[in-house]
Amino acid sequence: MSQEFTFKEVAAHNTKKDLFVIIHDQVYNSSSFVDEHPGGEEVLLDVAGQDATEAFEDVGHSDEAREILEGMKAGTLKRVDGDPAPKVAATDKVSAGPGGASKSDSSFGVGLYAVILVGGLAAYFAYTFMQSKDAK
Ligand code: HEM
């Protein structure tokens, strides 16, 4: 039953009174919500008639925000040749983020251990060198 919109059709709804956004390839009619948006009307007007997936996900909207969104659903996006590529969903970034972060964390850890190890070895050799000198 869900209506399909092309990118071009959605793009026509780009005013405050008639505002569609695309999030995760779903089309939402957010006209009634512009004045109520806790994040302000400006950001919604910025993405009016466009793919707002990245903007929406970057903010880390709550489940409540997602429920509101579902309530405004107008249909699904029908991609045709020449349309902009789907925006990368921040959820993808989120799953890549902590992984990447922990990776760099652990490499920092290895670097730190290497410094401690090399420092320890240097101290040990310096110590034995001094000892051997004293022994003479
Ligand atoms: C029609 C889609 C959207 C809906 C239904 C929506 C809904 C909400 C809701 C309910 C909140 C309150 C906090 C929360 O529950 O997460 C919020 C906050 C916010 N939204 Fe949206 N939002 C939408 C699109 C956007 C877009 C495209 C942006 C662009 C950057 C945005 C930026 C923000 C910001 C910055 C806040 C935080 C405001 C604050 O804490 O002061 N929102 N939004």
Question: How confident is the model over 96-121, as a mean pLDDT?
Answer: 65
Instruction: Indicate the pTM of the whole model.
Output: 0.71
Report whether residue 61 contacts ligand 1, using a CB cutoff of 6 Å: yes
What are the residue boundaries of the structural domains of the chain, listed by start?
3-78
24-71 pLDDT tens trace: 999 999 999 999 999 999 999 999 999 999 999 999 999 999 999 999
Q: Do 13 and 20 contact (CB within 8 A), yes or no? A: yes
Interacting residues of 20 by C-beta distance below 8 A, sequence separation 6+: 5, 10, 13, 14, 27, 28, 29, 30, 48, 49, 74
Query: How many angstroms does the Cα of residue 9 sit away from the middle of ligand 1?
Result: 24
End-to-end CA distance of the chain: 95
Dist. CA 22–CA 52, nearest whole Å: 6
Measured at the CA of 124, the angle between CA 120 and CA 128, to 5 degrees, comes to 175
Dist. CA 107–CA 105, nearest whole Å: 5
pLDDT exceeds cutoff 80 at 73: yes
pLDDT exceeds cutoff 60 at 131: yes
ipTM over 0.85: yes
Q: Do 76 and 25 contact (CB within 8 A), yes or no? A: yes
CA neighbor of 38 nearest in space, from 4, 62, 73: 62
Dist. CA 51–CA 23, nearest whole Å: 6
The two tokens of residue 66 are: 């997602």
77-108 pLDDT tens trace: 998 888 888 876 655 544 444 444 444 455 56
For residues 112 and 46, which has the higher predicted lDDT (pLDDT)? 46
What per-residue confidence (pLDDT) applies to 61? Answer: 97
Query: How many angstroms does the Cα of residue 62 sit away from the middle of ligand 1?
Result: 8
**Looking at domain 3-78, which of 1.10.1050.10, 1.10.260.40, 3.30.70.20, 3.10.120.10 is its CATH number?**
3.10.120.10
Report whether residue 38 contacts ligand 1, using a CB cutoff of 6 Å: yes
For residues 131 and 103, which has the higher predicted lDDT (pLDDT)? 131
